[in-house]
């Protein structure tokens, strides 16, 4: 199954975020809860964690790219 990883909204005022650093690469395996990417928004930084275990199929947002809340930043293929 393919899972879309989207830019989350942290706080009611957040409309976008900057991709600071990808911790994982395309083709790498991640475990549920593992940090995947560092994001900065409104001077606060946070990480997005894998919602499921699987393989990173695509990374759709580059480091230093500004991404709207809800935009797909990566896809994850699970074994389900």
pLDDT > 90 fraction of the chain, expressed in percent and rounded:
89
pLDDT in tens, 29-62: 999 999 999 999 987 899 999 999 999 999 999 9
Specify whether the CB–CB gap between 80 and 19 falls below 8 A. Answer: no
Read off the pLDDT band of 73 (50, 70, 90).
very high
Mean pLDDT value across the chain: 95
Q: Which pLDDT score, from 0 to 100, does residue 11 have?
A: 83
- Which residues on adjacent β-strands are paired with residue 25? none
- Among 30, 62, 33, smallest CA distance to 47 is for 33
> Is 2-77 a domain of CATH 1.10.10.10?
no
């Amino acid at each position: 199954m393919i899972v879309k990883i989207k830019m989350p909204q942290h706080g009611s005022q957040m409309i976008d975020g900057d991709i600071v650093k990808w911790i994982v690469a395309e083709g790498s395996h991640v475990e549920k809860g593992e940090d995947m990417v560092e994001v900065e928004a409104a001077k606060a930084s946070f990480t997005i964690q894998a919602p499921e275990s699987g393989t990173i199929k695509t990374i759709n947002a580059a480091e230093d790219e500004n991404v709207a809340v809800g935009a797909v930043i990566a896809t994850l293929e699970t074994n389900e």
